[in-house]
Structure 1
Amino acid sequence: MPQLAQSFKQLPTPKAHWLLGHSGQFSKNPLQFLCDCEKHYGGIVPLRLGLSQACSISRPDYIEEILKERLVFVKNTPGWRAIRTLVGTGLLTSEGDFWAKQRRLTQPVFHHQRISDYASTMVRAAEQLLEIWQDGATRDVHQDMMHLTLDIVMQTLFNIDIAGPEAQKISHALDLCMVWFSRRQKQGFAIPPRFPLPATRRYLAALAEMDAFIYRLIQQRRENSGDSGDLLSMLLQVQDEDGSKMSDRQLRDELATLMLAGHETTANALAWTWMLLSQNPEAERCLWEELDRVLAGRVPTMADLPRLTYTQQAIDESMRLYPPVVLLARSATQDYVLDGYTIPQNCVVLMSPWVMHRNARYFSAPKCFQPARWQGDLKKQLPKCTYIPFGEGPRICIGKSFAQMEAVLILATLAQRYQVRLVEGQAIVPFPSITLRPAQGIKVQLVRRGG
């Protein structure tokens, strides 16, 4: 009951700087800082980021409650305002009735039968990468995965080939956005998103080029109506209950969202998976045994997915250790009582899949790569919102099935033919921006499998 609620400021909290609060600790190493908060201070930890009130939440039931209360806890934090410069008000960032309408309009595009039609596109793109890979070659496997998933996004979204300059404009804009966002995050988002700093000008110029391409393509499709089999054609055709369709701006924002979510996150998940397999020979051997048994040298198809269980478990375990998105942030639109403590209006609520996934309360040997832990019903046994690589609640990622299918098919196609060995002497450092990238890539030597 509200009258019995206590201020959450009474809860234990790390020592703060008199002016900056916890901003310095958070900016220096946000993932470690949030892990330390959970370990030493509990499930609700009051924080101050500059002049802004914030808190870290790390209990599954608390996270579940916050994600369900989507009208109370909204995406109106400084970080989300920065992300909106890239994706506008697409499904990822919109709120309230507008979000509900966009979800209704977009949902049919991700129907199971629709996305299964793209399985052959995904495998074919992976086979084209195999034509480039050579035994003994040194590659940046993160860059290869980024290029591969961009190829798939361009084909499934727009039905165009990655070789064109448009794809490079998109890749360039996304790269600049990640660097720009990370810098702003380290600065505590104190500077307005469009303040004309040099990095901001470069990013916005690249974004303008990307937008020009997207709007030009939308216009061409409107003039030549028809279903070309890609996601843009489907989005152009869907209509709401009142007969309304998406405007050009809505289409642009959803397409930008799908490019970010469908390109960045899957590429990063695969890159971290390659690294972890190289570091864990026993897991790698189990993967090969399954691929040899199920596929026997042929390329995978949609029909093989139910039998590629260890392949899926390897992806699941990789996303546990290196979740594609490491921080979920919300802002409270009003005072809200959570388990007897009042979270004040405008408080920024931080929830971290990285923290949850590496918590020894829920995962044995939490820092170890053990795909077999996912055998059986572990996902069902875990408290809800413990394992959240795709988010949870009403706003769980709409492209979850697409991304899971893509990751398994790519890994199965490539790992049948090659193993990777990490190049010695490199420092592989997680770079927490909008997504979790390796800061300097992941350099590997390719070793062709025998036979």
Structure 2
Amino acid sequence: MVDDDMGPETGASGSGGTGDLPPGPDGLPILGNTHQYIKQPIGFFDELIEYGDVVHCEFPRIDAVAVFHPDYVGDVLLGQGTYERWNFDELKDLLDYEIAPRGLTFTRGDEWKRQRHFLQPMFGLDRLKGFSSAMTTATERMIAAWDDGEELVLNEEFSWLTLSILTNSLFDFDLGERRQVIADAADELQAMADMSGLSAVELLLPSWIPTHRNRRYSRAMDAFDATVETLIEERRANPERYDDFLTMMLEKEDDHEYSMSDEEIHDHLITFLIAGHETTAMALTFTWLLLARNPEARERVETEAKTVLDGPPTAAHLSELTVTERVAKEALRLYPPAGMLFREAVEETELGGYRIPEGTKILLPQFTVHTDDRWFDAPEEFRPARFRSERSDDRPDFAYFPFGGGPHQCIGMHFAMMELKHIIPILARRVDLELVSSPTPDVNMELTLQPAEDVRMRVHKP
């Protein structure tokens, strides 16, 4: 049932006395809790929360704490100076590969502040409004290519769509032959982050050992690196021809005469081209999976689109698409694309009454916090009305944090929400998508939260 009333409960559990370390499950020597996590990554955190709101767990070389209460999540995300992003330094020697270490996701301290200050204007609301037509055009082109009655792999369709939007709006190039190169790199990054189905021994194998998995990853990333080098060379050769994200990164910042190194630019391109398009693609996939299971909500989205819009959506329409926004937010609650955020305590501190030693890794599992019945009634149900403003105001601030929070809040948050509010109503007006695969697919923890099997739908055009 859709749009029932809700009333959150409050209160933290499991706080110990000052100076105590957090409780947690027993682990194995050396491996710690690795075997439990690999067996069922999301289920592992459902087990951890039984120990309280601040829970200790261990992995090779890593002491970690999982945090489940919104107040403590907020303490971590807002605690700049006490907590920094975990950049997985402890695993670099073991894994022998890094994912965009100089990109915005993993830099820290002054380097991160400098990068964020430089990049933030590129995601300003005024600039984003200019991307509206790219979002609309790409979506209309995708729908036009679908045949009535055709069966689609929806997650793949949305991945191509969001990648096309990103490259045309932020990077001013058509995908062409680069499409498969970027897609292959995204697939291999996802696969390398997916530990489901691996044995503990496989997990500990360094990437220089030529397993099939590692060779495939190396080939994909080598091709991606060559593509990035070509893009940089094209911009440097014809700087006056482009006015896009990449060209701006190649220019100096007037205030500080700061210019980015090629390594930084390369890693930002990985971050935005790969992670940026895949997160939104998964948000769209899970949104339409939920709408297919909830026809009343699907009908409300279509009614709103036909009422508010007299043609394709524009940036001016977005504030009026309130039903669409609530549907998107509820999908992000149930299936947050990032799945989990990572931080590190850079000094000894206290969290929820427990002592947190310096160097402890902090795990913030969005998928667990977002489905906690203390903050959401019937948390497993799809109820977009939870996000009416009067109801949202009753919840703790960090009961819902799909884009993170604090100074490190996702820089592409407004871009992503703008995409969702363009694409969802266009689809609702133009096609009906009938679910033909499992209505409740298992979910894998990869670089982004992914359905374990393809989401297949059949197209019906009026």
Specify if TM > 0.5. yes
Match of 1:134 among 143, 147, 150: 147
Of 137-146 and 196-205, deviating more is 196-205
Query: What one-letter code is carried by the residue in structure 2 that aligns with 1:8?
Result: L
Query: What one-letter code is carried by the residue in structure 1 that aligns with 2:298?
Result: E
What SS class does the counterpart of residue 134 from structure 1 fall into?
coil
> Where does structure 1 lack aligned partners over 5 or more consecutive residues?
none
> Per-residue CA shift, 1:326-370, capped at 9, x if unaligned?
111223333222233211233222111101110111111111111
How has the CA–CA distance of structure 1 residues 183 and 36 changed in structure 2, closer, same or farther, with 3 Å as cutoff? closer
Of 427-436 and 92-101, deviating more is 427-436
Aligned partner of 1:63 in structure 2 is 73
Q: Distance in 2 between matches of 1:443 and 1:71?
A: 46
Q: Distance in 1 between matches of 2:62 and 2:146?
A: 49
Give, in angstroms, the shift of residue 104 of structure 1: 0.7
How has the CA–CA distance of structure 1 residues 55 and 322 changed in structure 2, closer, same or farther, with 3 Å as cutoff? same
Q: Distance in 2 between matches of 1:333 and 1:187?
A: 31
Higher RCO (CA < 8 A, seq sep 6+) = 2
Whether the 8 Å contact between 1:86 and 1:207 is mirrored in structure 2 is no
1:232-251 matches, within 5 Å, as: 232-239=246-253, 241-251=255-265
Query: What one-letter code is carried by the residue in structure 1 that aligns with 2:354?
Result: Y
Of 214-223 and 169-178, deviating more is 214-223
Give, in angstroms, the shift of residue 222 of structure 1: 1.4
Question: How many residues are paired up?
Answer: 441
| Residue 279 (str. 1) matches residue 293 (str. 2) | yes
- Length-normalised TM-score, structure 2: 0.90
Give, in angstroms, the shift of residue 150 of structure 1: 1.0
How has the CA–CA distance of structure 1 residues 205 and 420 changed in structure 2, closer, same or farther, with 3 Å as cutoff? same
1:345-384 matches, within 5 Å, as: 345-384=358-397
What SS class does the counterpart of residue 446 from structure 1 fall into?
strand
Give, in angstroms, the shift of residue 79 of structure 1: 9.0
Of 410-419 and 399-408, deviating more is 410-419
| Residue 47 (str. 1) matches residue 57 (str. 2) | yes
| Residue 208 (str. 1) matches residue 208 (str. 2) | no
| Residue 260 (str. 1) matches residue 270 (str. 2) | no
How has the CA–CA distance of structure 1 residues 97 and 271 changed in structure 2, closer, same or farther, with 3 Å as cutoff? same
What SS class does the counterpart of residue 418 from structure 2 fall into?
helix
| Residue 171 (str. 1) matches residue 183 (str. 2) | yes
RMSD: 2.3
How has the CA–CA distance of structure 1 residues 249 and 21 changed in structure 2, closer, same or farther, with 3 Å as cutoff? closer
What SS class does the counterpart of residue 66 from structure 2 fall into?
strand
What SS class does the counterpart of residue 27 from structure 1 fall into?
helix
Give the percent of matched residue pairs that are identical in Structure 1 and Structure 2. Answer: 33
Q: Distance in 2 between matches of 1:201 and 1:424?
A: 32
> Per-residue CA shift, 1:253-284, capped at 9, x if unaligned?
11211112320000000000010000001111
Q: Distance in 2 between matches of 1:25 and 1:156?
A: 42
What SS class does the counterpart of residue 389 from structure 2 fall into?
coil
What SS class does the counterpart of residue 7 from structure 1 fall into?
coil
1:21-420 matches, within 5 Å, as: 21-38=32-49, 40-50=50-60, 52-74=62-84, 75-77=86-88, 85-162=98-175, 164-183=176-195, 186=198, 190-226=204-240, 228-239=242-253, 241-296=255-310, 298-420=311-433
Whether the 8 Å contact between 2:30 and 2:59 is mirrored in structure 1 is no
What SS class does the counterpart of residue 282 from structure 2 fall into?
helix
Q: Distance in 2 between matches of 1:121 and 1:404?
A: 15
Whether the 8 Å contact between 1:360 and 1:366 is mirrored in structure 2 is yes
> Per-residue CA shift, 1:386-418, capped at 9, x if unaligned?
111111111000111001001110111122111
Whether the 8 Å contact between 2:38 and 2:195 is mirrored in structure 1 is no
Whether the 8 Å contact between 2:333 and 2:400 is mirrored in structure 1 is yes
> Per-residue CA shift, 1:92-147, capped at 9, x if unaligned?
11111000000011011111111110110010000000111122111111110001
Q: Distance in 1 between matches of 2:381 and 2:248?
A: 42
Whether the 8 Å contact between 1:77 and 1:348 is mirrored in structure 2 is no
Q: Distance in 1 between matches of 2:77 and 2:210?
A: 34
Q: Distance in 2 between matches of 1:241 and 1:258?
A: 25
> Per-residue CA shift, 1:155-185, capped at 9, x if unaligned?
12321212x2112101101101111221399
How has the CA–CA distance of structure 1 residues 388 and 426 changed in structure 2, closer, same or farther, with 3 Å as cutoff? closer
Q: Distance in 2 between matches of 1:79 and 1:382?
A: 36
- Length-normalised TM-score, structure 1: 0.92
> Where does structure 2 lack aligned partners over 5 or more consecutive residues?
1-16
Q: Distance in 1 between matches of 2:250 and 2:125?
A: 19
Query: What one-letter code is carried by the residue in structure 2 that aligns with 1:59?
Result: H
Whether the 8 Å contact between 2:349 and 2:357 is mirrored in structure 1 is yes
Whether the 8 Å contact between 2:293 and 2:439 is mirrored in structure 1 is no
